[in-house]
């Protein structure tokens, strides 16, 4: 309904731009928070990834900016550069409606160029804690007139060790500011931060029936350390993801896995802290354009990653806690779309799996690969297999060659048969883009067979994603035919 945002108090020009971007119906987190934020209240919002948190805070922020004053009036703190870039992109789509100026300040950029732009006092600054503190020490940014402050992905910010930096920043901003805290989980450290720096905040909780997203199919594939790589190759060949993120525990493991994927004929690249900012942006650009099929990432590099069309997440290394697990699998199943999360587990991972299951209040279905490489169901008690599992054509597990994720996509056209990786141009890949190893391997990449390219159906997408329910509870959704 076109007037749904207007009924929340959002001005007509912003509603029009939202409509132009395909966003017409507020998500539960947006319906709950926007009226409070427009009224100037402090808010603590707990909602899972992909529920539209970004739009929930940028709409009231833009509406409350006084564009007649050349002052930094709003600050958004994020844990990673990628998230800062994504939020800035969303802001720049809507900022013309009110005439507000926006600047992103994060590490890896030319600091002198940032200083020149800060001299013009942008109305809104999106920043990572380290780079913002650098500017504050240089006295190249003034927060004396700050009216609004957002801590986005607050749990991850503290999990990454930014608490001292965040507290230093908060202590140097006006006490009369409005503070907005958005988080997927609410650990004790976040609660203490809110108690110390917020004024009688209103708590908003938007939860699905289970802790993890209900529209993400989650399984554990039992394997061994020696067989883990081959298992991942087989899973990719069977599920044929449109876009996938494979999480590794360390930068070295991410590098080695990416090399192995390329050798196997799978178009992939790596995302971790050793990359320059220019290289990180290049990798993300190729991934968003579907020139890569698999992004191999570490947890820190992929925090807040928001890419439309991610159909699968592979936990190549099992996360050590439920919080990390939730954030990892939240890269798929965004904006009400279906997705799949596969965790590869060795016998040494049993304790971590138990911790995850206790944290999410659910038991993860176990599967394994039989001697023929088929994915079969495994019983938790005996490890005996119970026959071949359902293939990617069912329950939303389809990717590039699988089932539709909610309807045909007009952008993608019909499935095309690709006999070998030399025809990888069908996916807009070229050898110059880092997939030369795919062409060298020939038939291996061709094992994906018919390649049905399905684009993301949701226009709202990502962090400003579509509504998953009208009551704040995420409803269960279908997963394909």
Q: CA 27, CA 41: separation in Å to the nearest integer? A: 20
Examine the pLDDT at 479 and tell me if it is beyond 50: no
Q: pLDDT band for position 387 (50/70/90)?
A: very low
Q: Map out the domains of the chain as residue ranges.
A: 6-206, 216-464
- Give the pLDDT of residue 304: 66
Q: pLDDT band for position 423 (50/70/90)?
A: very low
pLDDT digits (tens, 9 = 90+) for 252-309: 999 999 999 999 999 999 999 888 878 988 999 999 999 999 999 998 766 667 788 8
Q: CA 73, CA 60: separation in Å to the nearest integer? A: 13
- Give the pLDDT of residue 327: 83
pLDDT digits (tens, 9 = 90+) for 428-468: 443 344 443 444 444 443 434 333 333 433 334 443 333 33
Angle between helices 53-64 and 28-38 (to 10 degrees): 20
Q: Which CATH architecture has domain 6-206?
A: 3-Layer(aba) Sandwich (3.40)
Same-fold call for 6-206 versus 216-464? yes
Q: Looking at 361-475, list the stretches that DSSP marks H as alpha helix, in order from N- to C-terminal side.
A: 436-441, 443-446
Q: Looking at 277-407, list the stretches that DSSP marks H as alpha helix, in order from N- to C-terminal side.
A: 277-288, 299-302, 322-329, 350-360
CB-hemisphere CA count at 13 Å for 315?
Answer: 30
Q: Which residue has the tokens 């997963």?
A: 479
Mean pLDDT of 299-323: 85
366 touches 222 (CB < 8 A): yes
- Give the pLDDT of residue 358: 86
**Facing residues of 369 across strands?**
375
Please return the burial class of 89, using the count of CB atoms within 10 Å of its CB with bins 0-12, 13-18 and 19+.
middle
Topology of the domain comprising 216-464: Rossmann fold (3.40.50)
pLDDT digits (tens, 9 = 90+) for 34-84: 999 999 999 999 887 667 889 999 999 999 999 999 999 999 999 888 889
- Give the pLDDT of residue 401: 46
Examine the pLDDT at 476 and tell me if it is beyond 60: no
Predicted TM-score (pTM) of this structure: 0.59
Angle between helices 53-64 and 12-20 (to 10 degrees): 140
- Give the pLDDT of residue 207: 67
Q: CA 304, CA 326: separation in Å to the nearest integer? A: 12
Q: pLDDT band for position 315 (50/70/90)?
A: very high
- Give the pLDDT of residue 392: 36
């Amino acid at each position: 309904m076109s007037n749904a945002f207007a009924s929340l108090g959002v001005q007509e020009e912003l509603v029009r731009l939202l409509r132009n971007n395909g966003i017409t119906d507020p998500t539960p987190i947006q319906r709950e928070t926007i009226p409070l934020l427009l009224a100037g209240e402090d808010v603590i919002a707990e909602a899972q990834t992909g529920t539209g948190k970004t739009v929930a805070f940028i709409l009231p922020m833009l509406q409350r900016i006084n564009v007649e004053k050349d002052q930094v009036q709003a600050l958004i703190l994020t844990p990673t550069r990628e998230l800062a870039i994504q939020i800035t992109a969303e802001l720049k789509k809507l900022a013309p409606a009110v005439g507000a100026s926006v600047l992103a300040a994060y590490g890896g950029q030319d600091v002198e160029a940032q200083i020149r732009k800060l001299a013009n006092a942008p109305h809104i600054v999106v920043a990572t804690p380290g780079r913002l503190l650098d500017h504050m020490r240089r006295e190249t940014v003034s927060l004396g007139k700050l009216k609004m402050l957002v801590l986005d992905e607050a749990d991850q910010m503290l999990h990454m060790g930014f608490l001292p930096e965040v507290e230093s920043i908060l202590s140097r901003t006006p006490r009369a500011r409005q503070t907005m805290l958005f988080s997927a989980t609410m650990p004790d450290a976040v609660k203490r931060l809110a108690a110390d720096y917020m004024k009688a905040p209103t708590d908003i909780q938007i939860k699905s029936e289970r802790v993890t997203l209900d529209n993400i199919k989650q399984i554990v594939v039992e394997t061994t350390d020696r067989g883990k790589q081959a298992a991942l190759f087989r899973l990719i060949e069977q599920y044929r993801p449109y876009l996938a993120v494979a999480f590794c525990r360390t930068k070295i493991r991410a590098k080695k896995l990416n090399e192995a994927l390329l050798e196997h004929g799978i178009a992939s690249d790596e995302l971790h802290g050793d990359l320059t900012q220019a290289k990180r942006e290049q990798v993300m650009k190729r991934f968003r354009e579907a020139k890569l099929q698999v992004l191999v990432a570490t947890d820190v590099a992929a925090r807040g990653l928001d890419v439309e069309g991610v159909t699968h997440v592979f936990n190549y290394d099992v996360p050590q806690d439920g919080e990390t697990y939730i954030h990892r699998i939240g890269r798929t199943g965004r904006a009400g779309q279906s997705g799949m999360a596969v965790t590869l587990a060795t016998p040494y991972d049993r304790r971590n799996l138990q911790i995850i299951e206790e944290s999410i209040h659910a038991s993860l279905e176990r599967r394994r690969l039989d001697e023929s490489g088929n994915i079969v169901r495994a019983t938790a008690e005996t490890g005996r297999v119970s026959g071949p599992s359902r293939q990617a054509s069912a329950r939303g597990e389809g990717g590039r060659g699988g089932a539709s994720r909610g309807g045909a996509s007009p952008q993608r056209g019909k499935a095309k048969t690709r006999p070998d990786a030399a025809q990888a141009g069908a996916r807009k890949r070229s050898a110059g883009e880092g997939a030369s190893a795919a062409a060298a391997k020939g038939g291996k990449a061709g094992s994906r067979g018919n390649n049905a390219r399905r684009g993301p159906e949701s226009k709202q997408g990502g962090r400003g994603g579509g509504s998953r329910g009208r009551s704040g509870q995420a409803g269960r959704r279908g997963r394909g035919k």
